[in-house]
């Protein structure tokens, strides 16, 4: 005995609606830990090859292999990141104290730089409203103080929320363990749930994973390498704030095309203008031939050239993600762009027969 056609129609409508409502409610529920979940996924993706090797050595101990990988993540990533954050905070505080105490006068530095510039460039600065040296000096000092106080307030809020930070860290590590242990089974279930043909699912998952790894494995590791290299160059040249400049270059390297040049180019110009010729030549040469070349040399080795999205897409997606979601947007923005390109790539291709259902 078959049911009424209207009942079947209602069932077909009700089930997708129920799935959508439950999904939205679940996403709303886990939203407070969205950052922890994101970085757990990133850690699992980056360290999955290591976990596979450990599991190969102890194939009957999947939980043990995941636990060993997690301990390696803590030792190699989490602890150094905390130590770096503490050192960065100390150096930033010391730098700000030198500015407040008059030891570093940003306005005077700008004036000295301006006096060494060519006449045509000084005239252009005057035309754009930067010729009032005294007024600009005051504005620079106030602007820096205001910016640092804003950053200090954010750091203070993080410090006051120490319990929340460690809760999020615990959630991230806990989820990372299960993603390392059961990630393949979970990915297979998600793939089977996608309402596409087998071939389309394979193309979608393949492209999506390839670009995600290019974004995560490529961008983050290149950022670490460029920031470290830049900081060491600043330290070797005796320039103050090497750790601050290194972290800044690491962050700016996440933006294609412009990248680390936002840091070392202005500093090179300043060194030339103030007569530190050999330091300027050394910094400019290292910046152009070493720091900026890390991306071109290392990224193809890590992810290959075929997995890369166009630089203009990555730049726009990264800026948009940062504007909407803060630091997490550095990863989420390009990932959304990867999904967009993968979906439209499948949609624009002619339909093919599903090899599973082909007779």
Q: What Rg, from alpha-carbon coordinates, does the chain have?
A: 26
* Pairwise CA distance, residues 224 & 290, whole Å: 14
* Pairwise CA distance, residues 257 & 226, whole Å: 14
* Pairwise CA distance, residues 199 & 194, whole Å: 12
| Helical segments of the chain, H only | 5-30, 34-57, 62-73, 79-100, 106-115, 119-127, 133-160, 162-193, 198-213, 221-236, 242-252, 261-273, 277-286, 293-303, 311-325, 329-348
Q: pTM to 2 decimals?
A: 0.68
Task: Give 314's DSSP letter.
Answer: H
Q: What is the pLDDT along the chain (359 residues), one digit of tens a residue?
A: 455 666 666 667 777 788 888 888 988 888 888 888 888 988 888 888 899 999 988 888 889 999 999 999 999 988 988 888 777 777 777 766 766 666 555 555 666 666 666 666 666 666 655 555 555 555 555 555 555 555 555 555 555 456 777 888 899 999 999 999 988 888 778 777 777 777 777 777 777 777 667 767 777 788 888 889 999 999 998 887 788 888 888 888 877 667 788 888 888 887 877 778 888 899 989 988 888 888 777 766 665 555 566 777 777 887 888 888 777 777 788 778 877 877 777 777 655 544 444 43
- Quick one: CA dihedral 317, 319, 321, 327, positive or negative? positive
CA-nearest of 332, 266, 253 to 295 is 253
Burial 155-192 (b: 16+ CB within 10 A, else e): eeeeeeeeeeeeebeebbbebbbebbbebeeeeeeeee
Do you know the residue count of the chain? 359
């Amino acid at each position: 005995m078959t049911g009424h056609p209207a009942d079947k129609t209602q069932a077909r409508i009700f089930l997708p609606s129920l799935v959508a409502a439950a999904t939205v409610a679940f996403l709303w529920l886990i939203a407070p830990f969205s950052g922890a979940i994101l970085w757990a996924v990133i850690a699992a993706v980056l360290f999955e090859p290591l976990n596979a090797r450990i599991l190969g050595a102890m194939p009957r101990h999947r939980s043990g292999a995941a636990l060993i990988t997690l301990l390696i993540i803590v030792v190699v990533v989490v602890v150094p990141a905390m130590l770096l954050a503490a050192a960065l905070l100390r150096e930033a505080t010391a730098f700000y104290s030198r500015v407040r105490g008059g030891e570093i006068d940003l306005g005077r530095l700008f004036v000295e730089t301006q006096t060494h510039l060519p006449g045509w460039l000084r005239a252009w600065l005057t035309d754009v409203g930067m010729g009032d040296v005294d007024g600009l000096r005051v504005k620079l000092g106030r602007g820096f103080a205001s910016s640092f106080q804003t950053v200090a307030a954010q750091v203070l809020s993080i410090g006051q929320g120490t319990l929340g930070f460690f809760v999020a860290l615990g959630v991230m590590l806990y989820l990372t363990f299960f993603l390392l242990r059961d990630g393949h089974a979970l990915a297979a279930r998600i793939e089977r749930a996608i309402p596409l043909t087998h071939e389309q699912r394979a193309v979608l998952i393949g492209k999506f994973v390839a670009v995600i790894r290019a974004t995560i494995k490529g961008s983050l590791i290149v950022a670490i390498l460029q920031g470290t290299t830049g900081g060491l160059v600043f330290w070797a040249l005796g320039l103050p704030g090497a750790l601050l400049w290194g972290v800044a270059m690491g962050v700016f390297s996440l933006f294609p095309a412009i990248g680390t040049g936002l840091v070392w180019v202005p500093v090179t110009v300043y060194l030339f203008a103030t007569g530190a010729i050999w330091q300027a030549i050394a910094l400019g040469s290292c910046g152009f031939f070493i720091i900026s070349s890390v991306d071109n040399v290392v990224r193809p080795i890590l992810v290959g050239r075929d997995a890369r999205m166009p630089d203009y897409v990555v730049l726009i997606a990264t800026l948009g993600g940062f504007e909407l979601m803060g630091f997490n947007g550095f990863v989420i923005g390009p990932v959304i762009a990867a999904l967009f390109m993968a979906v439209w790539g499948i949609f624009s291709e002619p339909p093919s027969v599903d090899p599973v259902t082909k007779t």
